[in-house]
Amino acid sequence: MASNPPGQCCYQGVKHEGEPQGKLFKVGEHDVYLATPEPSTAKDAAILFIPDVISIWQNSQLLADQFAANGYLTLIIDPFKGDALTLNRPPGFDLGAWLAHGSTGDNPHTKEAVDPIIETAIKYLKEEKGVKKLGAVGYCFGAKYVVRHFKDGIQAGYIAHPSFVDEDELEGFKAPLSIAAAETDQIFPAEKRHKSEEILAKNGFPYQINLYSQVVHGFSVRCDPSKKIERYAKEQAFLQAVTWFDNWLI
């Protein structure tokens, strides 16, 4: 693997303040959140936002709004069919069982279940919104599905503190890719970062791996903004994504 499976750190963190500006609705049976830029600032491109295990919630909506404020039509899709986790689950929660079977035992969150949901989102953006230039961002759980769906038309990618990414999936992403990593991250530790660097260098496309000090897995979505070092890392990781798309998608 280019990164390890998810763990408890994937649903711990802090809820951020703000008022989401986008719209919640369904695409088929799936919940989505659409953040739309002002016409005067809109760019000729869109971003598919594939979230972490908490899915569509305050923090991810605010991030999508920020992408829209920078000119990108941004769609978050819920990859869990309404079975996302809540923030800060109590100790002892069996994340592996949830991934394999879902909360009800009949709603798995495996690649076989998630892939068609991502395909639905891409189809919506291309056919309903007329998107020609498509980038994708993936946070934690979502990173795997950014690299898996290059084949469906993703032209540039950004992933933050990735989990569950297989080496062959990363090798298959034949487009520019930017990665934001945390200094302390058992899911994407130094050896996985270095292996990812080897793979991306061999691929021959533009790539970037930025390491942020004194932060942990999940910082770009669930950091504590009252702590300067965490707020700085979150803000810079977001600017990293925007700058990447401004250069390699537009």
Looking at the DSSP bridge assignments, the partners of residue 24 are 33
SS3 96: helix
CB 5 within 8 A of CB 111: no
The pair of three-digit structure tokens given for residue 9, joined into one six-digit string: 């750190």
Q: Is 30 a catalytic site residue?
A: no
The pair of three-digit structure tokens given for residue 99, joined into one six-digit string: 């991934």
Q: By C-alpha distance, which of 193, 162, 144, 237 is closest to 9?
A: 162
The pair of three-digit structure tokens given for residue 239, joined into one six-digit string: 């600017």
C-alpha span between 160 and 80 (Å, rounded): 19
The pair of three-digit structure tokens given for residue 192, joined into one six-digit string: 């996985």
The pair of three-digit structure tokens given for residue 231, joined into one six-digit string: 């707020």
Q: Is 123 exposed, middle or buried (0-12, 13-18, 19+ CB in 10 A)?
A: middle
Which of 31, 65, 78, 185 is the catalytic position? Answer: 185
Please count the helices (runs of H) and the strands (runs of E) in the chain: 8, 8
C-alpha span between 187 and 190 (Å, rounded): 10
Which of 16, 140, 161, 223 is the catalytic position? Answer: 140
Q: Is 140 a catalytic site residue?
A: yes
What 8-state DSSP symbol labels residue 151? Answer: G
The pair of three-digit structure tokens given for residue 109, joined into one six-digit string: 């969150």
SS3 47: strand
C-alpha span between 204 and 181 (Å, rounded): 21
Q: Is 217 a catalytic site residue?
A: yes
> Where in the sequence numbering do the catalytic residues fall?
140, 185, 217
